[in-house]
Chain A
Amino acid sequence: MAEYTLKVRRYQPETSEGPYWEEFKVELDPSLSVLDGILQAKDRDDGSLSVRCSCRAAICGSCGMKINGQSGLGCKTQIGEAQELADKQASVGDGDRTIVVEPMGNMPVIKDLITDMESTHWEKIRRVTPWLLPHGEPPEREYIVEPESMIDITQSMACIQCGACVSSCLSMEADPDFIGPAALAKAYRFVGDPRDAETKERLHDLAEDPHGIYDCTHCFSCVDACPKGVAPMDQIMRLRRKAGEEGIEDPNSGHHHELAFVEIIEKKGTLDEVALPKESLAYGIKGKLKPSKRAIKEVLGALPTIFRTIRTGKVRTKWIAPHHKLPGGAQDEVKAIYKHAEEHREEFNIYITGEEDVEPEPDETETEEKV
């Protein structure tokens, strides 16, 4: 048994004007959860302390919250570990050693730790048509698929809709319209399903939406937040790969950005940062002859930035000297790698395969969350 102080961000719409902080002292074994601590405080100190929970075993997905600033499940975060993180944070900051508990981010708060998931989670989930769309007559009995063909979507099927990834999403913080990690991971669950017949339509929809797959800022927050190892960002990258393979030319320049990047490295070995935005916005001959309105607007908008960098001497040499090339034969080695890899395009899902010779480190499936 040890004593912990939980500092809870509270909001009681019936009695308080706005949110406020309240500290609760709890006493429990370090191996018990932060949720256990909250329930003890509710039981002993204040019955009005509100939290959504049910299974207490990381299955129902009800108790999403932020603990010391990190999104996750209250029931899956051991209070002893939460204290260690609080101690670490206090060691470099002005803060005290309390365990800070807040409602999930990116969502309106209804009461204390209970958030309204409708507008920021469920609405977005519905947005991606989260059900199978097969064509033709349904089979007499079940659909038969090869087990191997389902491996790729196993990760996205593990989602328990807790909203921790949405809470942690840094793109959504800046753009509330972003479809977001939970819904896009759910979208991949159907895009990758061999029974679904509207993959192409789904990909067009998600790639062309300015708040779709290319609005993800690749920050890995959702990967660390997810208590079930769904790795939503990885699923978004798979959606991008599929959209690219379909050749979908989205108006956000997402696909062209990817192509331009890949081609520049093949040609030059290192990234030519002058060529990348140019090629991304006005890709290929067609783009050069007839750049899109957006490309013209973006280039004009970038002119002040370009002039500023010339003025400080940041990029002066770039405009005189061409981008440097790799020395003696190294570029040919890079090209040989391209030739080999573009023939195979091997994809490697570390969650599912390739663990046979992983050293006896902590179990892969147990390490998603370190709070």
Chain B
Amino acid sequence: MKLAYWPGCVSRGFTPELHGSMAFTAEKLGIELVELDRANCCGAGVIAEHNQELADTLNARTFALAQQTGLAMMNICSTCQGAQSECQQRLDADSSYRAHINEVLSGQGLEYVKGKDGFTNKNFLWLLVEDYGLDKLAEQVVRPLSGLRVGPFYGCYVIRPKERLGYDEHPDRDIYLEKVIEALGGEVVEYDGARKCCGFPVITMNKETSLRQAGTHVGDAIDAGADCLVTPCPLCHLNLDMQQPDAAKVVNRDLGLAVLHLPQLVGLALGAEPKQLGMSKHIASTKWVEERLTGAAAPA
């Protein structure tokens, strides 16, 4: 399997461990990634808030770059998925608008063509389930995550709004994380926050609202007995992991729950060592996950 790969900004910024673990995991899975190194930020909804046409053109450029490779496109960020799907919906809905956007792209030798060669842009999570296949994934597992209790955390932009994100065709996209956890031999932890917002989008404007969301979800997962969370969104990771000590203060309780990126969880089951997956870079310690996988006893 060969894919046009958009890693996003955050995986090369504050979550470098995501970029690294994706490279590792892709190789193990036999997926070849052609990185779109000339592509630009998706705008994360903020550029669209400023100027819709600007966001649409920037993402049309990314799609056009992917289409040049003739490959299907993959991203590793729920936020990229959401922002790009939003622009793609507007672009696909109206041929005259598309022509208007392509006017500026044509000066760069680029064109976004609706549905060219069945063009798709999928988050790694969707790709893993729909194209790679859970059975094939399970076959690759060399270290089943037996006994590891994993809480899924989706990130809003791969689950809402349903009418934009391909749920007509793929109605189970909001239970894929559970399926992947099970395919890897782990145990799914049900808790209230799995499909809620991490709060990251308002961290600059209202830190308390933002961290109360993150802290509440992490706390709920701990109360439900989770050993860790897993997320396909690096922005959620920033709030759930990097900001976790501050979030603990806002919700006034001890937290300390490891938060894994999806490629890290997959990588662990494929036999990678935590260090190879950059887990030592996390703020919330991942030690307990490592101990759990090597069969240590539960903490008192």
Contact = CB atoms under 8 A, between A and B. Distances in A.
Interface of A: 88-89, 91-95, 170-171, 173-175, 178, 210-211, 214-221, 223-224, 231, 237, 240-241, 244, 252-254, 257-259, 261-262, 265, 269-273, 276-277, 280-281, 298, 301, 304-305, 308-309, 312-315, 317-318, 323-324, 326-328, 330, 333-334, 336-338, 340-342, 344-348, 350, 353-358, 361-362, 364, 367-368, 370
Interface in B1-59: 9-10, 12-17, 37-38, 40-41, 43-54, 56-58
Contacts of B44: 261, 271
A358 to B, nearest CB: 5
Interface size class of B (residues with CB under 8 A): 35 or more
B242 interface: yes
B68 interface: no
Nearest to B177: A92
B89 interface: yes
Contact of B104 (A231, A313, A340): A340
B16 A314 contact: yes
21 contacts: A91-B175, A92-B179, A170-B213, A171-B209, A215-B202, A217-B199, A219-B160, A253-B204, A254-B205, A258-B49, A269-B41, A270-B40, A273-B9, A276-B204, A301-B246, A305-B245, A309-B242, A314-B281, A315-B13, A326-B37, A357-B95
Contact of A342 (B45, B54, B179, B213): B54
Residue among B50, B108, B167, B245 with max Cβ neighbours from chain A (10 Å): B50
Interface string B194-230: 0011010110111111101100100000000000000
Given A174-B216, A326-B40, A314 B242 contact: yes
Given A334-B58, A367-B163, A262 B50 contact: yes
A348 B13 contact: no
Contacts of A345: 51, 53-54
Contacts of B205: 214-215, 252-254, 257
Given A175-B206, A216-B202, A271-B13, A241 B93 contact: no
B50 A241 contact: yes
Contacts of A171: 197, 202, 209
Given A265-B58, A312-B282, A326-B38, A277 B204 contact: yes
Interface of B: 9-10, 12-17, 37-38, 40-41, 43-54, 56-58, 61, 82, 89-90, 92-95, 97, 100, 103-105, 107-108, 156-157, 160-163, 167-168, 171-172, 175, 178-179, 182, 188, 190, 196-197, 199, 201-202, 204-210, 212-213, 216, 242-243, 245-246, 280-283
A263 to B, nearest CB: 10
Contacts of A361: 168
Given A210-B206, A357-B95, A370-B162, 12 more contacts: A92-B178, A171-B209, A214-B202, A217-B197, A217-B199, A218-B45, A224-B161, A253-B205, A273-B13, A326-B37, A326-B38, A354-B97
A174 B110 CA distance: 44
A174 B45 contact: no
Contacts of B204: 253, 257, 276-277, 280-281, 298
Nearest to A215: B206
- Mostly, the B contact residues are helix
Residue among B61, B100, B161 with max Cβ neighbours from chain A (10 Å): B161
A313 B280 contact: yes
A33 to B, nearest CB: 19
B41 A362 contact: no
Contacts of A93: 178, 188, 190
A314 B190 contact: no
A32 B197 CA distance: 32
B13 A318 contact: yes
Contact of A333 (B61, B94, B100, B163): B61
Given A224-B162, A305-B242, A362-B168, A219 B89 contact: no
A271 B200 CA distance: 15
9 smallest beta-carbon distances between A and B, as pairs: A354-B94, A220-B160, A341-B54, A92-B178, A219-B197, A271-B9, A330-B38, A174-B212, A214-B205
